[in-house]
Amino acid sequence: MRHLVEAVHARSHQLFSGKLDRSVLGFAERAIVAAVRAPEGDFRDWAAIEAWAAGIAGQLVTTAV
């Protein structure tokens, strides 16, 4: 991951939980999800995502010329 961050000059990176809805998956995708026993549901933390995005936006505003 560090190589990618450096290559694109990323200011930051963050991992967030996501959403898994088996009803929209194909057969192979459902098989993989079952094999790894991934829990179905929406695990996104919108407050954390918005806070991270606001921080990045703030950096862009302060460094703009």
Q: Which two tokens stand for residue 48?
A: 């954390």
Can you tell me the distance from the alpha carbon of 33 to that of 22, in angstroms, rounded to the nearest whole number?
8
Can you tell me the distance from the alpha carbon of 23 to that of 32, in angstroms, rounded to the nearest whole number?
14
**pTM score, two decimals?**
0.69
pLDDT interval class at 34 (50, 70, 90): very high
Provide, rounded to the nearest whole percent, the portion of the chain with pLDDT above 90.
62
pLDDT at residue 32, as a whole number: 98
Domain that holds residue 39: 2-63
Can you tell me the distance from the alpha carbon of 10 to that of 15, in angstroms, rounded to the nearest whole number?
14
Residue with the larger pLDDT of the pair 42 and 9:
42
Can you tell me the distance from the alpha carbon of 15 to that of 22, in angstroms, rounded to the nearest whole number?
22
For range 42-59, the mean pLDDT: 94
Our count of domains for the chain comes to 1
Q: Are 59 and 11 in contact (CB under 8 A)?
A: yes
